Amino acid sequence: MTEYKIALVGFGGVNRGLAQLIATSNARWQATLGFSLKIVGVTDLFLGSVVDRDGLDAAALAALPAEKGALAQIAGGTAEAFNETVIKQSGADIIAEATFTNPVDGEPAATFCRWALESGIHVVTTNKGPIALHGAELKALARQHNVAFEYEGAVMSGTPVIRLAKQALAGSQIQGFEGILNGTSNYVLTRMKAGMAFADAVAEAQQLGYAEADPTADVEGYDVRLKVVILANELLDARLTVSDVTCSGISGISAADIVKAQATGQCWKLIGAASKAADGSVAASVEARLLPLEHPLAGINGAVNAVSFNTGLLGAVTVSGPGAGRIETAYALLSDIIALHTTDRR
């Protein structure tokens, strides 16, 4: 039985969810997965930081109030976020990086990942920024130091996409993919199909907690674009940057467009897609597309996400599931740890 020491970097919903899972499930993981997790450090720009090499109480961490400097309430804790200390000096085997996504330069998450990988520490993350903007560099760093760099949760939270494609569909000749990769925009389109106006549907998505106060990144496709970059580079061996992906959103779609689509047996979806040409070049886009009702993504409604892989040997294989959520995304970190646990690094 292995016990991994883990440090949590960023202590918002996702890493709190992981602390909660550790508090409730460690004993079962020992029996079923062959490992358990011991939290040896936590750091968060708002909450502060704490290190304890003997292990912190996961349940107490999960119950911590969301108040500025709250980690000072834990024995040995402080209201300051000593990120570098927690990452490099806590004795962690694994860093769970779940800070905010910075779509411009991926910082400070990318630096947090670099610190860990250079120190020979595994990194699991749900953060799109470092992968979409610095993926090749960070993967090379992980290889160089023979540690894991896993990020299943960066695309569809806990719904498996990257490992599904790379492991379960290995050898199937993936030539491209189409995805519904943003729950907010899909929820808005679903509600518009039921007769709601765009602005009202956005407001409802905000009330339900799907959409941010500023929904621009969701409805204009910027969030999907980062995910398309990640998937295209991962599954199609592309080397795309964000500017290589043409991008438009759903804000231009009117109630009349929706009605017209339904009348012709079609539906509008915000699709992030990429495909590989015979010469190896990869074209990628984010745009609202009219799908025929028999398309594998046409029936994906509400906040659900989905990716349909276009494979040479199987045709379309589609996976759908949650694309967000606290526990759902925390599970992605667990699935990354399962993957690193079962990988032979000798």
Q: Rounded to 10 degrees, what is the CA torsion of 44, 49, 51, 57?
A: -80
Positive or negative, the CA dihedral 130, 118, 236, 281 is: positive
Which tokens is 112 given? 């947090």
DSSP summary character for residue 244: G
Beta carbon nearer to a second copy, 12 or 322: 322
Shortest Cβ 85–a second copy spacing (Å): 30
In angstroms and rounded to an integer, the radius of gyration of the C-alpha atoms of the chain is 21
84 vs 309: CA distance, rounded Å: 39
Active-site residue, 260 included: no
Beta carbon nearer to a second copy, 69 or 321: 321
Strand partners, 307: 179, 319
Shortest Cβ 179–a second copy spacing (Å): 14
Q: Which of 227, 260, 269, 276 is catalytic?
A: 227
Beta carbon nearer to a second copy, 209 or 252: 209
Beta carbon nearer to a second copy, 140 or 293: 293
- What is the CA 146 to chain-centroid distance, rounded? 23
Beta carbon nearer to a second copy, 66 or 314: 314
Shortest Cβ 207–a second copy spacing (Å): 20
9 vs 184: CA distance, rounded Å: 26
End-to-end CA distance of the chain: 18
Beta carbon nearer to a second copy, 252 or 312: 312
Can you give the binding site for a second copy, defined by CB under 8 A?
21, 29, 32-33, 157-160, 163-164, 167-172, 294, 296, 298-302, 304, 313-322, 327-328, 331, 334-335, 338, 344
67 vs 339: CA distance, rounded Å: 34
Shortest Cβ 218–a second copy spacing (Å): 21
Q: Smallest Cα–Cα separation from 137: which of 156, 126, 123?
A: 123
153 vs 221: CA distance, rounded Å: 19
Ordered strands of the 35-44 beta sheet:
48-51, 35-44, 2-9, 94-97, 122-125, 149-150
Instruction: Write out the binding residues.
Output: 128, 212
Shortest Cβ 159–a second copy spacing (Å): 6
**Contact yes or no for 51/40 (Cβ under 8 A):** yes
Shortest Cβ 87–a second copy spacing (Å): 25
Instruction: Write out the binding residues for NADPH.
Output: 128
Burial zone of 5 (CB within 10 Å; 0-12 exposed, 13-18 middle, 19+ buried): middle
Active-site residue list: 227
